[in-house]
Amino acid sequence: MHTHLMPDRMPRWADKFGYGGFIHLDHHRKGWARMMQDSKFFREINENCWDPEVRINEYLEFDTQVQVICTIPVLFAYWAKPKDCLEISEFLNDHIAEIVQKYPKQYVGLGTVPMQDAELAVQELHRIKEIGLVGIQIGSNVNNKNLNEAEFFSIFETCSKLGLAVMVHPWNMMGKKHMERYWLPWLVGMPAETSRAMCSMIFGGVLERLPGLRVNFVHSGGAFLPTIGRVEHGFNCRPDLVAIDNPVNPREYLGKFWVDCITHDPLMLEYVLKLQGSKRVTLGTDYPFPLGDLEIGKFITEMELDESIIEDIFCNATLEWLNLTKEQFLQ
Ligand SMILES: [Zn+2]
């Protein structure tokens, strides 16, 4: 789970909507494309970012059969006009649904919704369910609003009602413009963003009010799990600041949400497994991006973990998070 994919052809949204800021692809050489934000270069990507068959073969090299795919956070477009973001979301979701339909043993899909407009997001959630996607990916904040804001609750409530899983991905990183050098938005901002999302959903009572909501926080929960002692201590020593919307100790939620295993560090993964239990740690890769685990769990097989724990990480935890069965993928 936690792999990104996008269509190789997209409408020129800027021309269609009459304003800029959207991503388009410049296919400048065979098998490669530049992601462009208007005339600004964002990232160069390979065909493994859009070609489902190339990906299937690359995955097979690591004995991995199934990928949970979702879009790339830069395509969320939460900043755009809501109805335009809805149109983009529909386009991206239909594309992912097509791939899932064509390769049901290899792909499982998550959608995207216009988080900036709950009514349109809820509308798209119903469609997401109908077209066969099993959940959504959302950003760690929405135009700098935290996920506990009342306006987002109906979105989470609908996911819970429809049985759609949620994957929270860091994006729109805090402090970005003050730390452009050394890739700090990715190395420092992203782990902080994930902790921001987790603390918001816990302290804001979202997880408490929706115990059936299945949420996965990627990059192993970012900075949250390594700082749970501090977070809990803050909850205990300054309840007047922290426990104002939810009286439950944040540690109580460990093992209730999911995180992926992308730590790049066996010691950290051992710690995460201790806190979460192996049924709540999923095999994430962030494929096909270089900061991901592109050897797909190889470091886990070298950790001398029990077979049952490896099996939980490699499939059972994800199946449970997405409410799927292993049987449907047997070939
Ligand atoms: Zn990612």
Distance CA 159, CA 132 (A): 14
Would you say 48 and 4 are in contact if contact means Cβ atoms under 8 Å apart? no
Distance 237 CA to ligand 1 centre (A): 34
Distance 286 CA to ligand 1 centre (A): 4
Distance 284 CA to ligand 1 centre (A): 9
Distance 4 CA to ligand 1 centre (A): 6
Residue whose tokens read 């209730």: 256
The pLDDT of residue 297 is 95
Average pLDDT over residues 256-285: 98
Distance 167 CA to ligand 1 centre (A): 10
Distance CA 232, CA 144 (A): 24
pLDDT tens digits, one per residue of 190-242:
999 999 999 999 999 999 999 999 999 999 999 999 999 999 999 999 999 99
Q: 190-203 and 228-237 helices cross at what angle (nearest 10)? A: 40
Q: Is residue 273 scored above 90 in pLDDT?
A: yes
The pLDDT of residue 319 is 98
The pLDDT of residue 331 is 83
Q: What is the pTM of this model?
A: 0.97
What is the side-by-side strand order in the sheet with 32-37? Answer: 23-29, 32-37, 40-46
Alpha carbon 118 to chain centroid distance? 19
Distance 307 CA to ligand 1 centre (A): 27
Distance 90 CA to ligand 1 centre (A): 20
Domain parsing of the chain, residue ranges: 3-10+47-329
Average pLDDT over residues 73-88: 98
What rounded mean pLDDT belongs to the chain?
97
Distance 236 CA to ligand 1 centre (A): 33
Structurally, at CATH architecture level, domain 3-10+47-329 sits in: Alpha-Beta Barrel (3.20)
Distance CA 277, CA 117 (A): 35
Residue 124: both structure tokens together: 């798209």
- Extended beta strands in the chain, E state: 3-4, 23-29, 32-37, 40-46, 67-70, 107-111, 135-139, 165-169, 215-217, 258-260, 281-282
